[in-house]
Chains A and B, each alone.
Chain A
Amino acid sequence: MSDERKLSYGQAFNEAVSQMMEADPDVFCAGEDIGAFGGVFGTFLGLQAKFGEHRVVDTPISEQAIVGLGVGASVTGLRPIVDLMFMDFICVALDQIVNQAAKLKYMFGGEASLPMTITTAGGGGLSAAAQHSQSLEALLCHMPGLKVVMPSNPYDMKGLMISCIKDNNPTVMIKHKRLLGMSAVVPTEAYEIPLGKGNILRPGTDVTIVAYARMANEALIAAAELAKEGIECEIIDPRTLQPLDTDLIVDSAQRTNRVVVVHEAVRFGGLGGEIASQIQELAFDYLDAPVTRIGAPFSPVPFSPALEQHYIPDAKTILAGVREIMQRNVIRG
């Protein structure tokens, strides 16, 4: 039966785009190599054949103009999906993202809306080195006006991507490169996962792990291992990083009293700092230990697999982090 149908993370993205393009003639896609080639990760495969060159547009390698195309087309009434191939390339387009897309509505006194989705692929693990492996979500989350989404599985991908397209704000959908082949049951019909709503991936009582994108999956592996030791982890996947589901995180922290935040991005100045800060502001009295942050060291992403495997956090790193936080025994007065 169709409910049992499985799709990969990349196919779930593709189906979300395809279904929204079918439903809404104002939706179109533009980006480098997304047409006949289907995108460098194949996430746009078959869309041009289905919807034509005018709705799935191959662009020059011009990131500023690609995002500008989205800004101009959305502010004049269309619903663009513009693709930036690798997340690292947002840096090339940062003016259009930060100074234009994020701010136009506000600067125009509300007299504009920009229903555009920027899609891109982030994360390491492919030996793609320092300019094709970054996780720059913290940069984007710092910009009022943007919404930032990082799904951890195929089901979330489809529902979140549909929500991104339907949202009347500039949203950034960050696909994780290492999750593209991940397969799971995905409903055939179009459905939405509301932006700003996190998900309890695994309920638990002893410690909260806040993790998103690929790290949520690593956390699941670690949690299974820790369960054998009698440690029950609650895994919160915020799914949307801006706006952040702080309530869900804080509520979990208040129940488990211990929190580990995990991301693939560099630890210093990463989103973990913001999450930890929110927790200490809103749940300080519930904490049995300082919030632990797990992230990449403060270096560019290295190339060699021999280095990169030690650079990116994984289940083992998370395991160690959780064990450490569990060792802190707090006597409550």
Chain B
Amino acid sequence: MTRTASIVGMIVNPNAGKDIRRLVTPATHTSDVTKVGIVRRAIVAAFESGASKVLLMPDNHRLAERASDRIKGDIEVLDMPLSGSRFDTIAAAHVFCQAQVGAVIALGGDGTSRDVAIGWPDAPLIAISTGTNNVFPSAIDGTSAGAAAAFVASGAVCLSVVARRSKKVVVKIDDRDKSLDDLALVDLAFINSMFVGARAVRDPHTVHAVISCVATPASTGLSSIAGRIHPVGRWETGGVFVRLGAGGRKVRVPLAPGSFTTMEIAEVRRLGEGEKISLSGKTVLAFDGERDLPVSAFGTVTAHIEATGPLLIDVEQTLVLAAQALMFDETARHISEGNHVY
């Protein structure tokens, strides 16, 4: 694939890091000022590292405009209608795909990365955590992320070397009057609840079952249940299914940051790649930790795990390769001219 320009796309979810979990756990509040700072650092670093253009998702908080204010360079805030919801992220990711963006930086929690993956399934992604339970994204500073994104976008560092294909839980919902496709990047949970309410899954007694494609003991949130009894790494194939209920092991898990609870495990099962699991009946589906979709008593949810998630860029490895190629030397500044390494 030839690229005419080295475009870095950036998405900042204005709503991440502010939900009810700040009230019930020691979860971090991520202010708009913090987010603007990260994006601003990423923009500057992207231009410094050879990006020819930065595309930004607009948002109702005007974070994109504030982050790019007075920075010299070809910066474009997408002209798109705003809903103020996750659909903005989905739409922007889709536009980035059409615009041949070379790397996407997304700020948010697991849910934000999920929305990018919906809008652009093959997105070359750097996911920066500014959310609550951040299993998929990591704590990366904008300065590093911007640089890595630019090196990848320009082709100076080859995407296929520094990015790996992540997994996702592919979900199909068949209900009375609807049939929907959806996905999760970390976990899909079946919650015994009537309402979406404040979204975060907080009451351990309402968790019926969880399908996780990433579950490590270092996880926080629903995926930590499987993570603490049957870990499945980010780069392993398949995932794990956990059904909660009396009779089995009782495990202490951090269902939210800094908040531990005992979960009773009725069933744990390794899920192979593509292995389908199906549950019927009334539930509220939680995608990556947030209650999102009520399913009626007549509904059936089928899910499996496959390695078709976003291409997750390893920021540190990208920068190491760039250093080895002397790309930080003053003489090697014009890397966007097609001076590819690897």
Q: Does chain A touch chain B in the assembled complex, meaning CB atoms less than 8 Å apart?
A: no
